[in-house]
Amino acid sequence: MKNKTLLMTIIALLSIIAIILKTNSKKSNLEYEIKKQNSYNIEYIKKGYYVNELENGKVNITIAMGERSTGGYEISIKNIKIKEEKVVIYVEEKSPAPTDRVTEAFTYPTVQVEFNKMPKNIDIKSIDEKYTYPKIK
């Protein structure tokens, strides 16, 4: 009888340990840094996001508005949500007002975020969630 009780206690403890380990393994160790914006790189002619794996193991994600016929456009990151290895980035686009003075040149507004490693899943959405940016490269 004592052996059965001891065996049941050991099984219960092992089950609890397994649950704790599984729960802790779901935490993300993703870190990120938002980089400065750029408007003059023609590489980002299409609207969407571009993934560039760096030699140091980090990952640079560039989110682009696509080609614009003048200056005055801006894209910025408003929120980043990380759950386990899934990343959702919320961005906001701004356009110049009709009365704004703007550069008369083609521009390619972008914003970049650098992660310490490649996320398993990336979603990039407008702040109102009406638009999801496609992966271009």
Could you give the C-alpha distances from 108 to 12, 48, 65, in angstroms and in order?
A: 59, 11, 7
Give the pLDDT score at 39. 82
Residue 80 structural domain? 29-126
Give the pLDDT score at 84. 83
What's the domain count of the chain?
Answer: 1
pTM: 0.77
Q: Which residue has the tokens 């083609």?
A: 106
Give the pLDDT score at 10. 66
Average pLDDT, the chain: 87
Give the pLDDT score at 3. 65
Q: How many residues does the chain have?
A: 137
Q: Does position 33 have pLDDT exceeding 90, yes or no?
A: yes
22 vs 16: CA distance, rounded Å: 10
Give the pLDDT score at 85. 81
- Buried b / exposed e across 15-33, counting CB within 10 Å, b at 16+? eeeeeeeeeeeeeeebebe
Give the pLDDT score at 21. 53
Is 71 domain-assigned? yes
Is 134 domain-assigned? no
Give the pLDDT score at 118. 92
Is 131 domain-assigned? no
- Per-residue pLDDT reduced to its tens digit, 89-118: 999 999 999 999 999 999 999 999 999 999
- Per-residue pLDDT reduced to its tens digit, 35-81: 877 788 889 999 999 999 999 999 999 999 999 999 999 999 999 99
Is 116 domain-assigned? yes
Q: Residue range 10-35: average pLDDT?
A: 67
